[in-house]
Amino acid sequence: MLPNNLAGVIVLYHPDRSTIANIESYIYSLSHLYVIDNSENSDHTLVGDICELSDTISYHPFGTNNGIATALNRGCFLALQDGYHWLLTMDQDSHFDKDDFFKSIFNHTYTNTAIITASYNSVYLNMRPSEFPLFNEVAFVITSGNVLNLRIWELTGRFIDKLFIDEVDNEFCIRAVNHGFKILASKQVYLLHRLGDGFPAKHLFTGKKITLVKHSPVRVYYTIRNNLYLWRKFLFSNFDFVLNRVKNILYLVGKILLYFPNKKEYFRYIFMALRDSIKGKYGKFGN
C-alpha cells in the first residue's frame, strides 16, 4: 500500500463542530476524502468549514438519511472511479490520537487482506497472530478506522443497503472471512471512538456506581432486527460469530431490563424488530 493509493470516506449525520477536529486527525494521511452527508438538512456553514480544511475533500450530500451502508457504498464507488485501491472508512465521532497507524500500514503488500483496522480496544473475537508483527488477525471489526480493500469490496459484494445501520460492518467482515480473506487489527490502540451515550447507574449486586452505554430505542430496533438477519445468514458458516452476537443481544436486553429508564419504550421497539424480522421487512425504520 502506498499513500497515493489511500482515500477516505466519512459519513455525516447532523454533525457538530467536533467533526472538524476529528477529520483533521487523518485528512493529511489521505490522498482524497469523500464526505457523504446523510443529513436531511445540512449545516452549510459547518460543511463549508469542513471543505476548507483541504482541497482534497469533496462533498456529496444525499439530502435524506439513506443509512450507513448506502453511504459507504457511495464512497467506495467514488474511490474506485478515481482509481484508488484502499479506502479509510470513518464515523463522524471518531479520530486518531496520532498518525502512527498510517505510518505502520504504508509500504507493505497485503495479500488476500480485506481490511486493516486501527484498533479502538485491545480485544477481538478469535484474535491470533498474523504475518505482520504490528497486527493480529481477527474475525470482525467496527466500521470506523477501517482501511478497506476496494478490490475485495467489489469481489465479495457491497455493504448490505437494507440493513441501513447496525451490523453493516460485521456482516461484511464475516462475508469476507468466509471467502477466505483476512482482517488485520493493529496491536496498538490508535482510534478514539464513541460507542454511545453514557449514563450513570448503580450495580445491581455491589451497589457501586457504574457507567453504562445507552442507545436510542430506534437504534436498539436496528440492533435486534439486523442481528436476527445475521444469525440466520451465518448460523452454519460461522457459528462462533453467531454465538458472540447472541451473547451481545442477551447482554443488551438484560441491561435494558435491569438499568434503563423507559423500559416499556425499549421493549416496544424490540417487539417491532422481532415482528419486522419475521416479515422480512428491512430498510429504514418506519418506511
Under a CB-based contact definition with an 8 Å cutoff, are residues 94 and 128 in contact? no
Cell (9 digits) for 165: 445501520
Q: What's the pTM value of the predicted model, to 2 decimals? A: 0.95
Buried b (16+ CB within 10 A) or exposed e, 132-146: beebbbbbbbbbbbb
The alpha helices in the chain, defined as continuous H runs, are 18-24, 44-51, 67-81, 100-105, 150-156, 168-178, 217-234, 239-259, 263-279
Task: Round the average pLDDT of the chain to a whole number and report it.
Answer: 95
Cα 193 to Cα 94: distance, rounded to the nearest angstrom: 5
Cell (9 digits) for 27: 485528512
Buried b (16+ CB within 10 A) or exposed e, 68-99: bbbbbbbbbebbbeeebbbbbbbbbebbbeee
Question: What does the angle CA 151 – CA 154 – CA 159 come to, to the nearest 5 degrees?
Answer: 120
Please give the average per-residue pLDDT across 18-33, as a whole number. 97
What residue segments make up the domains of the chain, in order of their start? 3-193, 197-279
Q: How confident is the model at residue 207 (pLDDT cuts 50, 70, 90)?
A: confident
% of the chain beyond a pLDDT of 90: 87
pLDDT at residue 197 greater than cutoff 80? no
Task: Name the more confident of 250 and 201.
Answer: 250
Beta carbons within 10 angstroms of residue 113's beta carbon: 23
Q: How confident is the model at residue 221 (pLDDT cuts 50, 70, 90)?
A: very high
Please give the average per-residue pLDDT across 18-41, as a whole number. 97
Distances (CA, A) of 141 to 88, 117, 205: 13, 7, 32
pLDDT tens figures, 256-282: 999 998 999 999 999 999 999 999 999
pLDDT tens figures, 119-140: 999 889 899 999 999 999 999 9
Q: What residues contact residue 70 under an 8 Å CB cut-off, 6+ apart?
A: 62, 159, 161
Cα 157 to Cα 176: distance, rounded to the nearest angstrom: 9
Strands of the sheet containing 182-189, edge to edge, are: 57-61, 32-37, 6-12, 86-91, 146-149, 113-119, 182-189, 135-137, 128-129
Please give the average per-residue pLDDT across 100-111, as a whole number. 93
- Which residues, in sequence order, are bridge partners of residue 113? 182
In this structure, which topology does domain 3-193 adopt according to CATH? Spore Coat Polysaccharide Biosynthesis Protein SpsA; Chain A (3.90.550)
Residue that has been written with the C-alpha cell 435486534 in this structure: 224
